[in-house]
Structure 1
């Protein structure tokens, strides 16, 4: 945070702090393009360390030690009662190698939006238990790409991977002054991310049932009285959220074995009955996404076709995703009613379900590094094709 002086410009702040001015402008939506004297300006990618003003050493000496112009420190220390020194963030905030429940994610989101305020967050709906369904937006481009994770509860590692990517993208945007490609992506693409579609289910898998009734008794009954919820994929009401969309939903209803609430596979009594799927459908209908990606686990496969509705360019994109990840591109599978199925059918635009990692769900955290590398490479490839 700095205090604007008369005649200051965004370009000046960019030069003083070595951060692209587009990011500084977007980090300060409360300010007009005409800066006024005394305005508080947030500089993304920096933390602030505060000392008592009696600390020895001049601003010139401190600026030299921080490799910053003395003007940068002057604008941060107008009152001189306390000495405020900027510290550039150079490491990750997000730690994906941990059980990644809703509380961990929300704290990471708040921290990322504090230090990188060009990341925008908003609530697009609420879960059955009232948890906010959060969308993050990064970028200012006309082309919109949407990414989501944790439709299925025991696939929560996908949320950790997506959040780590948001962190790395912001970190590199504010640090890689010589790498203009990332800034080009930022200017061409607006990236929409819903990192946890199913927060109630994720919390159930990782933390067990809450004390809240009637939900505690209901999930225990659905789970056969078993307190081990590691195989639970559904939302808290026992509805599989990725079998809830109106793309031949009737076929899934007819052939799925569970005819009522279950830990997995029950498509509900009708399409879009659940608050989580209603929110995702509303977001998608309102947003004009060019491409959507749904992260799941497991199998190291990329599903990209649906009933011939996929456009020609979808194959070119999936070939690039397969190339950078080593995953296998699969055009058709015998499955309906998924989020991606519905998107491809309704808009006839590229949509991808990416099955990260391999093994038995829930995948172990020992796979996180490998999963993250593949997901990051694919997301960067998607930004590049736009």
Structure 2
């Protein structure tokens, strides 16, 4: 929500008026000098939108404020061009409305277009977040990263490496949305006050690593790829079980962590709906973008959201540090998921991260059943994922 500074206004006053932490207002306005506001300057207030209201007979700002449980000065601030003593019946003013419910929807699958809409809504209402493009998919879709927080501890989470695991995007975005609501409203998230975490942790979120694959599963192939993907899919136009990117390469088998062993073990030598690791590591733009992000940011910990199994994997070839075991025990205790140190798997993002940086990495297998998991599992999956999310950002 945008407001305009008046003489004597301060960001602290805005924080008190709208009950929003002042550091979130400061971070929502990076080009503003917080100690020297200028009258006429535009300020973004996070966690709010302004909504139109049509003046009725007998309305005054004071009556409207009382009826809507608003501070009178919030109305005066939003409607500085109006004559507060002579409101006209039928004219439009604006009321501040605090956002108390998420933008994320859980009644139908989230494809790339729906994800972009949600990200744009979050950026509009929570301008203290950063939205970056870390690369582009094969088709050319931007691969988005959301950054939240200013802390020294850097944690990365991602989802939808695999196309038919699109429910992981919905889970991760629901967690992000709830975290933002808790930051601006001062509410608890799984019994935890998260406001201090904003100053302690920088979150990096890539909610859809494989946008082309997700759209293929949910919407079918784009016209210029139809022939190639149907050929890869053995002449079938049913893509419900497709895991790979649109080139038929499994993105989570693309990383240089014993890639040769992965290629030998998978025994898939050509593009396929699943398991083909490509002809070399990091050939696919989506995998290359994720590797570059990790190399640039040097995360302290990474969590990759997958399905299914209600378990998670936390070791790789003995490269995992001692703190990984402590985190794994906490994740297991909080979520009820089984912690598994080693599995016969190579060339995954988690494998490569642990090998490359000797820092904690986790592959989370959310839910249980046959992929794609049904949306009926979403509440149960979200509950366990939230427990891991909170544990990851709170454990020192």
Measured at CA, do residues 65 and 288 of structure 1 come closer, stay the same or move farther in structure 2, by a change above 3 Å? farther
Is residue 202 of structure 2 the alignment partner of residue 190 of structure 1?
Answer: yes
**In structure 2, what is the equivalent of residue 36 of structure 1?**
38
Structure 2: state its 5+ residue gaps.
83-90
Is residue 9 of structure 2 the alignment partner of residue 8 of structure 1?
Answer: yes
Is residue 366 of structure 2 the alignment partner of residue 356 of structure 1?
Answer: yes
Structure 1: state its 5+ residue gaps.
none
SS of 1:226's partner is coil
1:122 is aligned, of 116, 132, 140, to 132
Residue 329 of structure 1: how far off its partner (Å): 0.3
- Distance between the aligned counterparts of 1:64 and 1:72, measured in 2? 12
- Distance between the aligned counterparts of 2:8 and 2:256, measured in 1? 56
Check conservation: 1:16, 1:68, Cα contact below 8 A. Answer: no
Residue 70 of structure 1: how far off its partner (Å): 1.7
Residue 90 of structure 1: how far off its partner (Å): 1.2
The number of residues matched between the two structures is 384
- Aligned counterparts, 1:69-80, within 5 A: 69-80=71-82
Residue 193 of structure 1: how far off its partner (Å): 0.2
**In structure 2, what is the equivalent of residue 203 of structure 1?**
215
Check conservation: 1:292, 1:352, Cα contact below 8 A. Answer: yes
Check conservation: 1:17, 1:68, Cα contact below 8 A. Answer: no
Is residue 394 of structure 2 the alignment partner of residue 384 of structure 1?
Answer: yes
Residue 55 of structure 1: how far off its partner (Å): 6.3
Measured at CA, do residues 13 and 180 of structure 1 come closer, stay the same or move farther in structure 2, by a change above 3 Å? farther
**In structure 1, what is the equivalent of residue 86 of structure 2?**
none
Check conservation: 2:324, 2:360, Cα contact below 8 A. Answer: yes
Residue 53 of structure 1: how far off its partner (Å): 5.4
SS of 1:246's partner is coil
Supply the RMSD in Å over aligned alpha carbons: 1.5
SS of 2:24's partner is helix
- Distance between the aligned counterparts of 1:37 and 1:107, measured in 2? 33
Check conservation: 2:366, 2:385, Cα contact below 8 A. Answer: yes
TM-score computed with the length of structure 2 as normaliser? 0.94
Check conservation: 2:181, 2:187, Cα contact below 8 A. Answer: no
SS of 1:383's partner is helix
**In structure 2, what is the equivalent of residue 45 of structure 1?**
47
